[in-house]
Amino acid sequence: MNTKDGSGASSSNHEARGADWRAQDPNLALERTRYAEPIPSRELLLKHLAAASEPLSAARIAQRLALSGDAQTQALDKRLAAMARDGQLLFAGAGYAIVAEAERIKGRVRGRSSGEVSVIPENGGPALALARADVAALMHNDRVEVRAVGLNERGRPFARLIRRIGDAPARIGGIWHTGPGHGRVSPEDPGHWYAVEVAMRDRLDAGDDDYVIVEITQRPLGDSPARGRVTEVLRDLRPSDLAARFAILRHDLPEAMPPQVSLAAERFGAAVRASDLAGREDLRELPLVTIDGEDARDFDDAVFAEPLRGGGWRLVVAIADVSHYVRVDSEIDVEARARATSVYFPDRVLPMLPEALSNHLCSLMPSVERLAFVCDMRIGKTGTLGKPRFYEAVIRSRRRLTYTEAWAFLQDPHGAEAPKLDEQIERSLHALYALYAVLKRARDARGALDFRGGEVKARIGADGRIEGFHALVRNDAHRLIEECMIAANVQAASALRLAKAGSLYRVHGQPEDKRVTELQRIMNALKIGATFSERPTALEFRQLIERLVGRPDGVLLEGLVIRALAQAVYQQTNIGHFGLALEEYAHFTSPIRRYPDLLVHRALKAATVPSSLSGHRYTTVELKSLGQESSQRERRADEAARDVMGYLKCLYLQPLVGQSFDATITSALEFGLFVQLTEMPIDGLVHISAIPGDYWELDDGGLSLVGRSTGRRLRMGDAVRVRLGRVDLAQRQVDFELLGGEEAEGGGVRPRRETGRGKPRRGGRRSGSRGR
């Protein structure tokens, strides 16, 4: 007999209700391996407690989940107590409750080949080590919630798992190995601490040591391995392509554009339609030009300048009007937001927008009509920015110039290297260069930071082989365009503020006190004057950077300055841009490749161009989420690009193992020295066991290693001679050996008069360069 409260329910009814919780539990298989009569997993218990409006006792939980019998209720009691001990639950007197939202930390699981597993918090902060018991059902790159519970036995921040909130990508790259009865894929990314078992029927035609992509069909569960099937065998790929494929998998980057998104972009056609011109200003006769790198893949900005009669200049910055084509919540917009940025590899790009837009209809190619959103401004004789005018326009770029061509013209308009230009373009380039000189003086006066260290580029031959690496050399044409873009970005931020329009700003916060203190300590130890006020200014950092100019180790030391600075992010609250010494700044100039720029265009149109059909007013809730997404995905793209470069550097060095190189010490640590090669920007580790001739101790406040017996000192900035000892392609690590005596040919360990005492080196931790 049944009653309304269920008290008269029969045992068969209990069984039916029990089946319900079993159907809901994703970890039921694991529970059955642990208990003859399985009980709900931690994950399911957390789900039920989250839905409860008050703490629940063990008895009430058992009743709700229809658990019966001593074995099940006792097992439930033990599990709830363990969850409370592990930080997943709180015992609140009357019962159990989930951990408060403020105590929850969301992050990604990161593993190491050693088996050590930690969580990287999404919103910053140190990595949190995970207990081995929490790792049994996790995978590298899972998204989880954890609760910090103190320090572990090694003194590292420690956390306990609350729940898994997102699965790791199903596809990973790896190497195929044939075994008895089945195959095994060893993940290429050492973050995966497990191999993937594959049935021989699911291997395609993979052979031993082939690179493959495997789709995981069963997650690791307790002692059961991960299982999967091979979806692609990676043969005959160029090294740069293989590196890109692995980086895409490692960092879970969206690769192929969904067909429906590409189709939506293609529906716009190949040319601007007459109907698109309604309400737009006609700038087709203005001699706008694009100035980009030789290998530029999209052209989203064009510039023009002319002197004004009363002094100063008119500057026109025309930006591809992406928002006209990509409307809020359209198929293209949803995909662009998910990507947030284009990702650039040495000879490949993962675009934010479909190619029909990014490389064609939105690209400001010469001699074709394109839609643009324009920032038209007046700039005074001293670089003061006047009130801008933002408007929609149609343009026709007059010429596509490279930085090399523009710089050749600006140096000598009649020189052999200078391009032949029409008179209007020549006048505009001269005006742009004169304007740049004024903007640069204003930049210098306010203390904006300038670094000499350039972007590292790989030289890839026609056959795909890596021929070497070089730092990109910037000239005044690069800087000219940079200043024009900065001016437009400042004007955009100012217009948004004045209109009280919700948007995203590009902010760069004040550096942390502890980082500034450490930088000052290092610089003073190196006899480089470094003085900072209680609240450091950009000008103080700039003055330090200027003191590094002319030093052989100047670029190296600039890297220390950069590491002392905060990371720039996107957020709705404007706090200024420390590095540029600006009170307000937004990204406006690259909507083809950055989603925040597209957002800024929409917000500006809604605020300043009421007739526009593509403006949009964002809510505070939307902006908070968009800022976090865009910042995180920008970091992901940067990490992937560094990963590819690290892979290519290791690949280039592999055949050179055993050869010797000149290098510079970039840092000293208890376990050894990091060095950078002189002839190419490649970093690696000299482990302390690979430094001959003495017992080495860290000294100089962590700036050098000192030989206990000889007093020899190996200090940051010293020139040394090293031999390439080992290259680990999977770890993206390079290890060197320090040469001494005759081996070094005069460039090895150099004795110094100074002596010092430091901490004795402890069992050396082994590490290496990670694509630095």
How many angstroms separate the CA atoms of 160 and 145, rounded?
9
Q: What is the DSSP string of 383-397?
A: S-B---EEEEEEEEB
Q: Give the mean pLDDT of 194-220.
A: 95
Max avg pLDDT among 329-343, 674-688, 694-708: 329-343
Distance CA 489, CA 495 (A): 10
Residue 84, phi then psi, degrees to nearest 5: -70, -40
**CATH at residue 117:** 2.40.50.700
> Per-residue pLDDT averaged across 152-174, rounded?
89
* Confidence at residue 765, expressed as pLDDT on a 0 to 100 scale: 36
Instruction: Report pLDDT for 520.
Output: 94
Same domain membership, residue 699 and residue 638: no
Q: What is the pLDDT of residue 761?
A: 31
Tell me the one-letter amino acid at 75: A
What residues contact residue 473 under an 8 Å CB cut-off, 6+ apart? 454
At 93 the pLDDT is 67
Residue 20: pLDDT band with limits 50, 70, 90: low
Q: Residue 98's pLDDT is what? A: 80
Q: Are 545 and 664 in the same domain?
A: no
CATH code at position 26: 1.10.10.10
Out of 619, 646, 673, pick the residue that ends a domain. 646
Q: Report residue 769 as tokens.
A: 């360069």
End-to-end Cα, the chain, rounded Å: 72
Of 98, 125, 154, which closes a domain?
A: 98
Amino acid identity, position 690: A
Torsion angle, alpha carbons of 65, 71, 74, 77, to 10:
-40
Nearest residue to 683 via CA among 753, 734, 748, 743: 734
Answer whether residue 243 is part of any domain. no
Task: Please say whether the beta carbons of 16 and 65 come within 8 A.
Answer: no
- From CA 349, how far away is CA 347, in angstroms rounded? 7
Share of the chain above pLDDT 90, in %: 68
Is the domain of 117 the same as that of 94?
Answer: no
Nearest to 76 by CA among 48, 116, 51, 117: 48
Calculate mean pLDDT across residues 522-526: 89
519 and 583: one domain? yes
Residue 756 has a CB neighbour count (10 Å cut-off) of 15
Q: Which residue has the tokens 């005596």?
A: 741
Identify the bridge partners of residue 715 per DSSP, sorted by sequence position: 704
**Mean pLDDT computed over every residue of the chain:** 89
2 inside domain? no
Euclidean distance between CA atoms 627 and 665, whole angstroms: 38
- Confidence (pLDDT) at 747: 39
662/679 Cα distance (integer angstroms) = 8
pLDDT digits (tens, 9 = 90+) for 554-565: 888 999 999 999
Residue 109 lies in a domain: yes
Residue 702 pLDDT more than 80?
no
Q: What mean pLDDT is predicted for residues 233-240?
A: 91
Domain tally for the chain? Answer: 6
Q: Parallel, antiparallel, or unpaired for β 171-178 and 182-187? A: antiparallel
In this prediction, residues 252-272 reach a mean pLDDT of 97
Strands 128-130 and 157-166, sheet pairing: parallel
Contact 706, 765 (CB under 8 A): no
Of the candidates 77, 86, 10, which has an alpha carbon nearest to the alpha carbon of residue 40?
77
With b for 16 or more beta-carbon neighbours within 10 A and e for fewer, the 601-627 pattern comes to bbbbbbbbbeebebbbebeeeebeebb
Indicate the pLDDT class of residue 13, thresholds 50, 70 and 90.
Answer: very low
Which pLDDT score, from 0 to 100, does residue 771 have? 34
**Higher pLDDT pick, 735 / 64:** 735
Q: Is residue 347 a part of any domain in this protein?
A: yes
Q: Which residues contact 423 (CB under 8 A, 6 or more apart)?
A: none
Residues 480 and 605 in one domain: yes
Mean pLDDT in residue range 693-708? 88
221 and 355 belong to one structural domain: no
Residue 771 lies in a domain: no
* Alpha carbon distance 620, 414 (integer Å): 54
Do residues 291 and 435 both lie within one domain? yes
Structure tokens at 762: 């402890």
CA–CA gap between residue 738 and residue 660 (Å, rounded): 9
**Residue 581 corresponds to which tokens in the numbers above?**
């010494």
* Shared domain check, 549 and 524: yes
Query: Which amino acid, one-letter code, is at 173?
Result: G
pLDDT band, very low/low/confident/very high, at 72 (cuts 50, 70, 90) = confident
Of 589, 614, 646, the domain-final residue: 646
Domain that holds residue 637: 476-646
Length of the chain measured in residues: 772
Indicate whether 146 pLDDT > 70.
yes
**428 shares a domain with 304:** yes
Q: Using 50, 70 and 90 to split pLDDT, how confident is the model at 498?
A: very high
Q: Residues 435-480: pLDDT tens digits?
A: 999 999 999 999 999 988 778 889 998 888 899 998 888 999 999 9
Q: Residue 253: inside a domain, yes or no?
A: no
Structure tokens that stand for 257 in this block: 């554009």
CA distance 734 to 381: 52
When mean pLDDT is compared over 129-143, 323-337, 509-523, the highest value belongs to 323-337
Per DSSP, the three-state class of 335 is helix
**What is the helix (H) or strand (E) element at residue 514, kind and residue range?**
helix 513-525
Helix, strand, coil percent content, the chain, rounded in steps of 5: 35, 25, 40
| Cα–Cα distance, 724 to 685 (Å, whole number) | 10
Mean pLDDT throughout 648-668? 95
pLDDT tier at 219 (50, 70, 90 boundaries)?
Answer: very high
Distance CA 450, CA 87 (A): 47
Would the pLDDT of 750 be above 60? no
- Rounded mean pLDDT of 347-351? 93
Q: What is the pLDDT of residues 557-599, one digit of tens each?
A: 999 999 999 999 999 999 999 999 999 999 999 999 999 999 9
Q: Which of 624, 597, 574, 618 is nearest to 341 (CA)?
A: 597
C-alpha–C-alpha distance, residues 422 and 223, integer Å: 73
Q: How far is the CA of 172 from the CAs of 235, 770, 771, in angstroms?
A: 16, 20, 20
Both tokens assigned to 434: 């004169």
Please report the pLDDT score of residue 402 as a whole number.
97
Is residue 363 a part of any domain in this protein?
Answer: yes
Whether 350 contacts 255, CB under 8 Å: yes
Answer for the pair 681, 693: CB distance below 8 angstroms, yes or no: no
145 and 113 co-located in one domain: yes
Residues 105 and 94 reside in one and the same domain? no
Looking at residue 84, what is its pLDDT? 81
Which ranges in 452-512 belong to alpha helices (H)? 476-498
Supply the pLDDT for residue 745.
Answer: 43
Separation between Cα atoms, residue 649 and residue 247, nearest integer Å: 14
3-state secondary structure of 616: coil
Question: Looking at the structure, do residues 160 and 229 belong to the same domain, yes or no?
Answer: no
Query: Does residue 731 lie in a domain region?
Result: yes
Instruction: Grade residue 17 by pLDDT with cuts at 50, 70 and 90.
Output: very low
Taking the C-alpha atoms of residue 483 and residue 392, their distance in angstroms, rounded to an integer, is 22
CA distances 471 to 77, 270, 555, Å, are 62, 37, 11
Element (DSSP H or E) covering residue 372:
strand 369-379
Structure tokens at 404: 């090399």
Identify the pLDDT of residue 742: 47
Residues in contact with 394: Cβ distance below 8 Å, sequence separation at least 6, in sequence order: 272, 276, 277, 280, 281, 282, 283, 284, 369, 370, 371, 372
Bridge-based pairing state of the strands 399-402 and 289-292: parallel
pLDDT of residue 102: 66
> Could you tell me if 352 and 326 are in contact, meaning their C-beta atoms sit under 8 angstroms apart?
no
Q: Average pLDDT in the 314-327 region?
A: 99
Dihedral sign of CA atoms 625, 631, 634, 639 in order? negative
The secondary structure element, H or E, covering residue 558 is helix 554-564
Out of 36-45, 287-296, 370-379, give the one with best mean pLDDT. 370-379
Q: Which residues contact 610 (CB under 8 A, 6 or more apart)?
A: none
Most confident of 2-16, 48-62, 205-219: 205-219
391 vs 394: CA distance, rounded Å: 10
- Residue 744 has what pLDDT? 44
List, in order, residues 6 or more apart from 528 with CB less than 8 Å away: 544, 547, 548, 557
3-state DSSP assignment of residue 292: strand
Tokens describing residue 447: 């203390």
